[in-house]
Structure 1
Amino acid sequence: IAIDARVHATSATAGGVPLEDLNTTLTATAGAVSASPLAFDVFGGRFDGGFELRLGDDLGLQLDANLTGLDVARLAAFGDADGTVTGRLDATGTFEGRGQDFEGVLTSATGDATVAIVDGTIRRLNLIRTIVLFFGRPEADAPAGTEAFQRIDARIRVADGVATADALTMRSPDVDLEAEGTLDLGTKALAGRARLLLSESLSGQAGTDLRRFTLEGDRIVLPATIGGTLGDPSVGIDARAAVGRALTNELRRRLGGVLERLRQPQPAAEPPPTP
């Protein structure tokens, strides 16, 4: 026996999250409950997707989600990280999990997602301040700690309570970031490695030696480490990797000079004198 019902609600609450303009078709059988399609407004954006909840000795959940235009500041505030990040989020993902209760389902959840956040800020990231101090300037010259960005893109895999990003990029006026790392969904701890690509303008402010050792094209590239927590992230210059990059760049520069000299035509030898 299956029961189908169309549902519309002007407002609703799920897990403490306020929803508006909810529309779905519910299907219930002896072994499962599903809602598909499912659409509602949430955190200033829109959710479109669906889910199936399988019943039995264990609960099984499969979720398909497409999010558009979510207000990241409101989402962060709901997650006890008020004031840490702003912007507008689009995301698409598919997740599934099993457990004896909903907490177990969430703990065991696995899935993949793509995420994009545009026109936002991250408080306490301090990328520019970190770079300025690495340049050897006085701390008083360092800018404020809120980082504005134009766009963040990430490809994320969730498994065993950890979200792993193997392709994360952030574009901003002064510095771009390319990173890979992890987020512990329980402790909110961050860990990862990154490349910081300074803008041409900021690269031009560096000293001659730093530019020579770290320049790629017209931009300085610095290796970095990522740590801290989601609410208080930290990015530091990886000094050991920076030295290795400097040595590699200097070796390439010198070898390039040697090869260039070898490619230059050699003057013809003078003929021996006539006896």
Structure 2
Amino acid sequence: MSTRHGDAESGLGQLLASDGSLGGVVYVGMSRTDDRLARAVADGLPVVVIDEEVDLDLPVETITVDNYGGAYQATSYLVQQGHRRIAHVAGPAELSTTQDRLRGYVDAMHDAGLDVDPDLVRHGPYTEQFGASTFPYLTRPGGAPTAVFVGSDIVAVGMLGAAELHGISIPDDLSVVGCDGIRVGQWLRPKLTTLEQPVAALALAAMDAIERSMTGERRAGAPARTVLPLHLVVRGSVARVEAS
């Protein structure tokens, strides 16, 4: 079940109130405190959480990706391309995925001997509109970055779409690395360099966890948290610059 939209959120409650034919719950959400998961566990349903970890003290398996490592890799790649002033356009600050990506970005900057300018870290929703709205902060005279790591491809799409309106050429004026690997990134001009989510592997891991829980085959001591790697896909939205 996804809780990224209101109709899906109500759908979870309706299923939990159904006739008992529900065999398990795969939860893909952006809420860390959904009490309906506690109800599902209390009803004896196996629950697997994908992506965003929950703050509830529940015996659920979590299947996620290495958001910290991916952000570190993306930021380090920008440093390797000569960028020294790198911004981070992040997701909602309360999400664990956002926090992990921010830590990866900060640590990569510090490990490269670079300062993090707090004014170049912006938090907001995963929408194209938010991406487009970041340019006033990224085009300040004398303080503009040459590159940005964006915590969502959807946000990056908004940035690339609005760049021309602000007189910004991607990647000549601003290099952009996204995160997620959604298909539309391949059709942008320039094509979006991004961290690709292992969607198929996430789904297979979740289904395997649900099946093992339903059949009682979950091994004693099996990990309650599985972390899969993100893969950097290099395309055309990053330019190399001469390091100053």
TM-score band w.r.t. shorter chain:
under 0.3
Instruction: Give TM-score, length-normalised by structure 1.
Output: 0.25
Instruction: Give TM-score, length-normalised by structure 2.
Output: 0.27
Larger Rg: 1
Give the structure with the higher percent helix. Answer: 2
Q: Which has the higher contact order (CA 8 A, sep 6+)?
A: 2
